Amino acid sequence: MQATLALARETGYAKLSIEAVAARAGAGKHTIYRRWPSKGLLFLDSLLSLNEPVLDYPDTGDVLADLRRQIYAAVDLLANPPWGPLYQALVAEVQHDPAVAAGFNERFIRPQTDKTITRLKTAQDQGQVSPDFDLDLAMAILSGPLYFRLLITQEPMTHDYVDRVLQALFAGMSPRH
């Protein structure tokens, strides 16, 4: 997996091959294919093996500050090479390979969504978020603009943009007094 990430950083995902990974890792390509039947699944496992701690949520008691801190860390990671282009390549592969899509959703998207909704539920229980606000919708509203910029418009994902997204979200889900 280290060889996969090193090669992907050097050449980009499109030029990555099982043969090149095998050569870099000093392994036979059949050994790699036994565990990973496709380049996409090898790449997915390699990226997920990093377990980036920046994607964990703090709980300081201030949900807005906690979301801001977590999203800033994710944006800082994804806004620059090598991780931004590698993540974009993974999301592109998800569009073409159902096995990679299933693994990505099960092992990354769902756990991150669950962490976010759990943090929002705690805030809801503490009165920081309206008790009737749909937390699944909050997650979609929160992540949609970020993915839109990262994958579609490729405009910069900045802290200011994150702040604007959070402000818009919290305008709709703050408790009404």
pLDDT for 49 equals 84
**Which tokens go with 159?**
């802290």
Check residue 117 and give its pLDDT: 94
Do 33 and 101 lie in one domain? The reply is: no
Q: What is the CATH number of the domain that holds 99?
A: 1.10.357.10
Residues 27 and 92 in one domain: no
Residues 26 and 100 in one domain: no
Q: What is the pLDDT of residue 100?
A: 94
16: domain range?
2-46
The domain tally of the chain equals: 2
CA dist list (Å): 28 to 18, 47, 98 = 9, 21, 26
The reply to whether 88 and 7 lie within a common domain is no
Q: What is the pLDDT of residue 82?
A: 76
- Residue 85 has a pLDDT of 86
- Give the per-residue pLDDT at 66: 93
User: Are residues 135 and 88 part of one domain?
Assistant: yes
- Residue tagged 């509203």 (tokens): 141
Claim to verify: residue 140 and residue 59 sit in the same structural domain: yes
Tokens encoding 65:
């500050």
Predicted pLDDT of residue 174: 66
Residues of the chain with pLDDT under 50: none
